[in-house]
Structure 1
Amino acid sequence: MRILVVGAGATGGAFGTLLQEAGRDVTYLVRPRKQEALRRDGLRFISPTADRTHAVKTITAADGSGPFDLILVTVKATAFEGVLGEIGAFIGPGTTIVPILNGMAHVDRLEQQYPGQVLGGLARIVATLDGDVVRQQVPLTSLMVGGLNGNPVPADVSEALDVPGVDFSVVDDVVGALWDKWAFIAAAGIINCLFRAPVGRIIAAGGRSKILAAIDETEAVAAAAGHSVSDAAHAQAIGILTEPGSAFTSSLYRDLSAGLPSEAEHILGDLARRARNLNVPTPLLDLTLIQVRAAVQP
């Protein structure tokens, strides 16, 4: 199976390395500058258990290589629209597409454009890109996939993705799992971006009730959309976001604080749009969006 990993950042580089080490045929779709760096230096992936550098196969959007069997879309939401217009040349009628992004808008867009060829994908990994080096902070590396609209996960896709180092699973309700994660990261984004502090400092300042209200808001949108957050996901959100003294901050808040492109519209903006369509009040989410949008320099 020919696998195309779209993006060689933290997520793509980590999972691509593990797939390649298991003998899978992996190619990365990257920008020309990134291609030059990878050709010159290889792809270095530092995990909690190993530090390795591999030579990798790369292509750019201008290259013609025909369709791939499996495409993993691992870019951030800020780059999604760009790659959506580029991957068509690598998609054939038998190609399976697995996007691994936050939120749900990307799933809707891909399913509209390539109906029946898209699977839901959900990755859990804590990794960053340090220059061109992929660094994984904790051992957790999991990947869940599931069919959309009642479609099954092809057996060859499951076989290709089930490799050492990855806790791989096929789930029946992948859309529900995606909503579980979306509700959590949106609540975390609201809390950190609105109060501009880590969880522990917000609680110390008397903000616990507002944290709980933010969790209620995002979970209410999920429920109205027909995907009530699971008990386990709710308990996890409460545990992480109400821990006294916690230094936890969301990746959205960290990106905004560093002046980096953020997924604010993909995570918060799209959720607010769906909330309006479903007539779900989200006052804290709306306030956060005003602050985030007003802070962006034109």
Structure 2
Amino acid sequence: MRYIVIGAGAVGGTIGGRLFQAGHDVLLVARGAHHDAIRRDGLRLLTPGSARTLDVPVTRGPVRLRDGDVLILAVKSQDTVAALDPWSRDAPVVCAQNGVANERMALRRFERVYGMCVWLPASHLEPGVVAAHGAPKSGLLQLGRYPRGADELSERIAGDLSESSFAGVAVPDVMRWKYAKLLGNLGNAYEALCGHAPGHEPIMKRVRAEGRAVLDAAGIAYASPEEERARRGAQVEVRPIEGVERGGGSSWQSLARSSGSIEADHLNGEIVMLGRELGVPTPANGVLQREADRAARERLSPGSMAPETLAALIDAEARRTGPAPD
């Protein structure tokens, strides 16, 4: 079985690099300077206690698929459609992405779609280099058939991941885990906008209360924080890497790289959309979505907004739209 990893950034680069290290057939799909650096020098995979250069095959775009190929989609949600469009639709697709909309987008095009709930602390800020901060395992990767069920392929992929420095788990209810991860990812936009400045607790309490209220109103099941902690256990702990400063998560990295786009429309925006459909006010998530999108378009640096400014914008939006749930 060959793993074709579409999007060799922090998540995709770590998954592809670890699978390659364990002896699996891997092809990375990367763009621009990142592709050029990997092709010229190999993928530099930094982990706590080690730094390896891996001669992983890399391509800029689609290749002819072989029997047994598996596509692992690891691009940001806003790039899903464009990333999948050029590929043959015969292969199974694993959506190793934040958010909960990617699987439906993939299912319009591919018959066999799998969701993956990714807990993988990693960063990609320099072409050709990925830093994976998780230890003793690089990440907890739960996957299952979309919309539900676990099958032979998901079990096999989970087994390959477990042999490759991950905790790989095949689950029959992957979207329940992904909706729980969505609630956690609602803070990504705050981190991108405000960095690690103190004062996040009141804002994040409002943001996540809105998220839970919307999911509850929609009848959408999600795993509890206690379940998440029990599943992860001590398998994946964030540890330092010598010479690497871990600035922030995926949205923080989008601003740090001046990529021009950010994932807020598919994280906070998912809650905003459901809230509009159900008549549940979501002012805090709406402001985070709007301001994160603006920061990305204007290529602002992460941490450019004071928490007090953000809180004032949320208060103004709440007065305009009505109070959000407690």
The normalised TM-score by structure 1 is 0.80
8 Å Cα contact 1:190/1:285 also seen in 2: no
CA distance in 1 between counterparts of 2:290 and 2:184 reads: 20
Within 2, Cα distance between the matches of 1:269 and 1:18?
32
Whether the aligned pair in 2 keeps the contact of 1:10 and 1:127 (CA below 8 Å) is yes
Aligned to 1:252: 251
Distance 1:56 1:254 in 2: 24
Corresponding residue SS for 2:38: helix
Q: What is residue 216 of structure 2 aligned with on the other side?
A: 223
User: What is the rounded CA distance, in whole Å, between the counterparts of 2:115 and 2:63 in structure 1?
Assistant: 27
State the alpha-carbon separation in 2 of the partners of residues 78 and 288 from structure 1. Answer: 17
Mapping 1:188-203, distance limit 5 Å: 188-189=187-188, 191-192=190-191, 196=194, 198=196, 201-202=198-199
Instruction: List gaps (5 residues or longer) in structure 1.
Output: 237-246
Cα distance in 2 for residues equivalent to 1:287 and 1:5 = 33
1:32-77 deviation line (CA, Å, top 9, x unaligned): 6544332220111011132111212223325435565211111222
Mean Cα deviation higher: 170-179 or 210-219: 210-219
The CA distance in 2 between the partners of 1:197 and 1:21, in whole Å, is 34
Superposed, which structure 2 residues align to 1:236-247 within 5 Å? none
Q: CA deviation at 1:232?
A: 2.2
Separation (CA, whole Å) in 1 of partners of 2:39 and 2:192: 39
Structure 1 residue 152 displacement after superposition? 2.7
**Amino acid in the other structure paired with 1:137:** H
Runs of 4+ residues deviating >6 angstroms: none
CA contact (8 A) 2:149 2:171 kept: no
SS at match of 1:212: helix
2: distance between equivalents of 1:157 and 1:293? 35
Distance of aligned partners of 1:34 and 1:67 in 2 relative to their CA distance in 1, 3 Å threshold: farther
In structure 2, the residue matched to 1:185 is 185
Distance (Å, rounded) in 2 between the aligned partners of 1:25 and 1:123 = 21
Q: CA deviation at 1:275?
A: 1.8
Taking the aligned partners of 1:20 and 1:257, their CA distance within structure 2 comes to 28
Q: Distance in 1 between matches of 2:266 and 2:67?
A: 28
User: How many percent of aligned residue pairs carry the same amino acid?
Assistant: 24
Q: Which of 95, 114, 125 is matched with 2:120 structurally?
A: 125
Corresponding residue number in structure 2 for 1:12: 12
Q: What is the aligned length?
A: 276
